[in-house]
Amino acid sequence: RTMAASAAAQMSAAIGWQLLPQVQAYRLKQAQVNSCIDQLLQMDTAASMAPLMVAKVSRQFAAVSDLLAELAETINSTIALTRHRRTQARRLHLTDIPANPMSVILSLSALTTIAHLKSTARPIRNALRPIVRNIRLPKAIEVAGVGGVVQFDDQLSHGDVMKAMWVVEEGGEGGWGEVGDTLRVAKHCGNCQLPVTVGAGD
């Protein structure tokens, strides 16, 4: 990132040096034109100026006015785009945050808090999905006492994963403990294989 920032700064400086002579030449010509306009307005030229010259000056004023308007629009667009890119570059990308600190935060957060985080912005939602699926839900299964007994289908949508996490955590150790004991007895009797996979339909 440091190298990228340094390269961007060098490019910005190069562009600035490229534009500087043009800006200085423009300001010099602008000062000359303003001086000529002042002289023109101070003269009593209504009778002495030929109609053709008046028409020519008028056309050139109109043409230059259009060019200046176009130049102003281009400069404003360039400024706006540059500011937008700088703002984007300064924003912290959640994909750059290590998963471990985020998983710690999620492990200590209530389900409603996670749901609120999910709804804030797409980058946050995308960052939370793998952590909820791969860390929070398996941990909830272990805490409920059904590790190795119950698992959830890997093909569950993220919405279904959130529902599964809610069911496991809200069920608590007591509720799932009875389920786990029942399934272990069923396996011992040869009635099922463990772990039992719970799908979206379940």
Rounded to whole angstroms, the Cα distance separating 104 from 135 reads 10
The pair of three-digit structure tokens given for residue 97, joined into one six-digit string: 């945050």
C-alpha angle 99-149-175 in degrees, rounded to nearest 5 = 90
Q: Which of 164, 163, 171, 162 is nearest to 197 (CA)?
A: 164
Residue 24: pLDDT over 70: yes
What is the SS3 string spanning 66-124? Answer: HHHHHHHHHHHHHHHHHHHHHHHHHCCCHHHCCHHHHHHHHHCCCHHHHHHHHCCCHHH
Query: Whole-model pTM?
Result: 0.44
- Dihedral sign (CA 176, 181, 186, 188): positive
* Token pair 């793998």 in the structure block, residue: 130
| Contact call for residues 165 and 140 (beta carbons, < 8 A) | yes
pLDDT at 166: 82
Q: Please state the separation of Cα 65 from the chain's center in Å.
A: 39
* pLDDT (tens digit per residue) in 122-176: 666 677 777 778 888 888 888 888 888 888 888 888 788 888 888 888 765 567 8
pLDDT at 131: 76
* pLDDT (tens digit per residue) in 87-107: 655 554 545 555 555 566 666
